[in-house]
Structure 1
Amino acid sequence: MKEFDYDLDYKTLDFTDAETRMLYRIGRGEQGVLLVRPYTNDICAHWRFKTPEIAVKSANKIFAMYLDYRDSEDFIGMDMCRKFLEMGFTRSRRYANHKTGKKYDKEGNVRPQDPDHLTNQYAQSAKIFKQVRDIVAKNDTYKQMRKEWRSHE
């Protein structure tokens, strides 16, 4: 597996361009989620997690975009949707664990989890994003296209 390449000039790259597409790297987890344009701009416009209701609307919209990318056989779009769903889960969990969103105190120590970290609205949002992310990541078409992409990285 090749690591995500943070050295590229992402501000000038258009990953819908055939030659540029070959530069895309899956990376680990949600690496590069905010860099790969125009996908980042398109998907980020719908990415929200403040309440479970907002998270449902956001996750459903991103899933619909994923289906459109899948129907167009656009693996980068599919993978970017997966990354945004992953980021919805991880960011929601961060705020579920720590109301301020800050995991560390000024001395660099991990802050204790909030008492309601398993039940608050952000914990509920995290569950929503994780459920949809799991559907995407376990989809046979996605897994096959990911395997093919990895073989060419």
Structure 2
Amino acid sequence: MSDGPEYDVDFREHPEEYEIGRGEEGAFKVQPYKDELLPLWGIKTLEDAEEGAEAIYERFREYKAREEFVGMDMARKYLQMGWTRSLRYAKYPGGRKYDDDGTEREPQQWYDEEKYRISQVYREYLDRVESDPEYQRRREAWEDG
């Protein structure tokens, strides 16, 4: 994969170019999946999260039916991003983990109850994806190359 701001690859046409990476790495770069998933994703309100997480999970199921592992994994990344980002807002005012000088702020449990509930919505769907036997099988095969 390229180091540039966007990869110059259509990963649906060239899935062999995809690397799973760590965590949410590539979530804003891997096309056409970014354009398909990002509009569905939201953590502003609990309603946004419920609709977004369900829609992303439905896309996961569509990618699975079409045997598109890259799409399946990108859906996982967006669910994971919903979980981790909302959890950060739940613990830190304004979602800022570090002060301007780089000092880590003390987490407040739970600073924002709605963001905590949002994190749990995304976590539920993330758990479904990660425990899906087909996803596990395909991920293992992908990592084995």
TM-score by length of 1: 0.88
DSSP 3-state at the match of 1:45: helix
How far residue 7 of structure 1 moved from its aligned partner, in angstroms, is 2.3
What is aligned with 2:41?
47
Identity of aligned residues (%): 34
Which residue identity does 2:18 align to in structure 1?
A: Y
In structure 1, the partner of 2:94 is: 100
Deviations 1:24-75 (A, max 9, x none): 0011211111110010111001000112221111000000000000010100
C-alpha separation in 1, matches of 2:101 and 2:73: 36
Question: 1:9 Cα shift?
Answer: 7.0
Mark the runs of 5 or more structure 2 residues left unpaired by the alignment: none
From 127, 133, 136, the counterpart of 1:140? 133
Structure with the larger helix share: 2
Aligned to 1:130: 123
- Give the aligned CA root-mean-square deviation in angstroms: 1.6
**C-alpha contact 2:5 2:29 (8 A) present in aligned 1:** no
2:3 aligned partner: 7
Which residue number in structure 2 is paired with residue 21 of structure 1? 15
Once the two structures are TM-superposed, the CA of residue 112 in structure 1 deviates from its matched residue by: 2.1
Aligned length: 145
